[in-house]
Structure formats: C-alpha cells, structure tokens
Amino acid sequence: MLPQRFAKSFWHGWAWMEKRSTIKDVADLAGVSPSTVSVVLNGVDGARVAEDTRRRVTEAAERLGYEAHPLARGLRTRRSQTIGFVSDLVASTPYAGQMIQGAQDAAWRAGMLLLMVNTGRNLDLERHAIRTLLQRQVDGIIYASMFHSITRVPRLSPARPLVLLNGIPAAGMLPNVVPDEIAGGAAATTELLESGHRRIAYVAEWRDIPAVELRLRGYREALERHGAHFDPALVLREEPGAAGGYRGVSSLLDLPEPPTAVFCFTDSMAMGAYRAAAERGVRIPDDFSVVGFDDHPLIASSLAPGLTTVGLPHYEMGEWAVETLLELAEGTTAMTGRPLQMLMPCPLVRRDSVGPPSR
C-alpha cells in the first residue's frame, strides 16, 4: 500500500531527522554530479540520462535515505503527493467524520496524504485555505460539506481538479458525490409498507435542505408504488433533533386516527419519537413502527429497541471523491469511463423498531 519511496526511508526510522544526507553525498556515492542527481530524482521532463546512471543514482539515494527537498521539488514538478480537503464543519461536528476516514484511506492506498482545513464556515478563511493549498501544489481539492448541500465553490485554477463531497454545484458542472436520498427515503418507507403499514408519517426538519425534499420524494414514490394513499396531514416539519421528533410524533399519536408508523428524517428525531411513544404507553414495534436515517453510531444501536434506519454512506463517499480526484489529476476518467456524478446508495440497516401494524 505504501509506495516504496516512502517505505524505504521509514526503515531507517527517524534518523533522517537528525542528520539528513545531502545531494552531494548521493552524487559521491553514485559517481555523478549533483545536477545529475537532481535531474534524476526530480524527474525533470525531457532530461535525458542513461538508464545505467539513473539506476545508480536511485540506488545511492535509497541507500542513504536521501530525498530531494520536497518544497524545492514541488516548485519544479508541480506535484506534492497531497490532496487538499476543505470542509465547512465536517471535522468539527459529530455527523459526517467518516467521509474523512474514507477519503484518507483511499488517498493512502495511492501513497498520498490528505491535508485538511476545517473552515467553520468562515468564508475568508475558506478562500485563504484554498489559496494556501493550491500554492502548496496539492494535486487537487476535495470540497466537503457536513450535510448534503447546494454548494457555491470559489473559482479555482482550472489546471487542478476539484471534487464536491456531499454537495451539488449551485451552478455549472463539477464532479460530485451525494447520498442517493430519494432511494434512501423510498427504502425506509418500503420497509414499513412491506411490513403491512399503510398510514405512514414522515417527520422532517423545517430547514430547507436538499435531503428533506429528496427523502420526501422517495417516500411518496414508495407509497405510490405500493398503492398507498399519500396524506399531506402525515407529513410534518419540525425543529431538528430529538425535540422536533418528540413534538412531531406526539402530535401524530394524538390524532383521532394516528399513523401506525413513522419515517423520521434523522436518528436524532427518531430518538424523540421513542420518547413520545413511551410517554403514551405506545410500544415500539408492537403498537408503532419507527425508521430513522443516518445509522448514527451514538444513537441507532443505543435506542431500545434498536432503531431500523437508513445509513449515510459517508465512508464510501469519501473514498469515491478521492478516487475520482486522482483519476482527474491523471486525466484518465475518459478512458476508464468513470461517472463524474455519483448518487451513493444508502443501505437499509434493520434492527428491531419495525413490526406489522397492530390495527
């Protein structure tokens, strides 16, 4: 997984930090001039060096654990073995961190490092971050959003690729990956329909974010496919989180003819749904079924009964973004036929919150 070039010098441990070999050391050992060493190791385009000389220089450099100064090399070759990762709040909030893990893992498989900046939505800082990363010759930039967003991207030098992670471009075309929210919403609803439910509510956030609308579309499509009636009174918009889920599901359960199941926009809202049910002596899943969205590690399996939910494929999205960026940097996407827009499937995760309707 680790390219030879890195691995070699690590075998020498941290010695290189104490005393680094110089280009002169390598030249002496290989019996060539320092400028020949520079030409070979920095891969200067078009320079002609005999294969035998090239081999001697490479071997001498490896033996001495020598590496050309990467800042200097960056200036010449315009390659840095790094990818910039600019995010709004991905690293600082407890929602989509697995995008970072997926991206770093994919980068590392290619011997590359993810250099991240978390801007906290400070636009001055964001511009400065992108600029700094470009100046440091990152091979491209991944622009990541905490939640599925419509993204306005600062204009970039066209020579370096940019991939949107968890965002779709507000204008124009950019390679991007987002969760397949429609299919996810349909999967959640279908799980309830196939358990026999017909009066299924959808409780979402009141924020106008793409996922709310798209999951609603999936919900409606699933109802239609199963010949179930769409009742607008069963679609509620509430504040985000457990408090909103509690309020929404409380009001639904207090209807003269309450729904027998609810699809909650997030696991956090589902947590509130559990509380609303418990307060009324309504048992899950015996009397009422609940499906969430997120498969959040701190919530879904911590609830009792365990919450059936739809996972957000953050890890896979992070991987996809890096793999796509690397192909774009190499210019091979046309050859491989890689799609440049990706709706990542959201897997249904079955636990114990769905059962047949009691009425």
Positions touching a copy of itself (CB under 8 A) are 2, 6-7, 10, 14, 16-17, 69-72, 74-75, 81-82, 89-95, 97-98, 100-101, 104-105, 108, 113-120, 122, 124-125, 127-129, 131-132, 134-137, 154-157, 241-243, 246, 268, 271-272, 275, 278, 296-299, 301-302, 304
**Shortest Cβ 203–a copy of itself spacing (Å):** 15
**Shortest Cβ 274–a copy of itself spacing (Å):** 10
Q: Which is nearer to a copy of itself, 58 or 301 (CB)?
A: 301
Max CA pair span of the chain: 92
Q: What number of CA atoms fall less than 13 Å from residue 157's CA on the CB side?
A: 13
Q: Which is nearer to a copy of itself, 42 or 301 (CB)?
A: 301
**Shortest Cβ 270–a copy of itself spacing (Å):** 11
Residue 342: strand pairing partners: 177
Asked if 15 and 33 count as a contact pair (C-beta separation under 8 A), the reply is no
Q: Which is nearer to a copy of itself, 27 or 300 (CB)?
A: 300
**Shortest Cβ 315–a copy of itself spacing (Å):** 9
Q: What is the dihedral of CA 255, 259, 265, 271, to 10 degrees?
A: 80
Closest CA to 310 of 191, 144, 166, 176: 191
> Parallel, antiparallel, or unpaired: how do β-strands 308-311 and 348-349 relate?
antiparallel
Q: Which is nearer to a copy of itself, 18 or 257 (CB)?
A: 18
Asked if 156 and 131 count as a contact pair (C-beta separation under 8 A), the reply is no
Q: What is the dihedral of CA 86, 89, 94, 100, to 10 degrees?
A: 0
Q: Which is nearer to a copy of itself, 56 or 314 (CB)?
A: 314
Distance of CA 81 to the CA centre of its chain: 20
**Shortest Cβ 153–a copy of itself spacing (Å):** 11
Q: Which is nearer to a copy of itself, 228 or 306 (CB)?
A: 306
**Shortest Cβ 5–a copy of itself spacing (Å):** 11
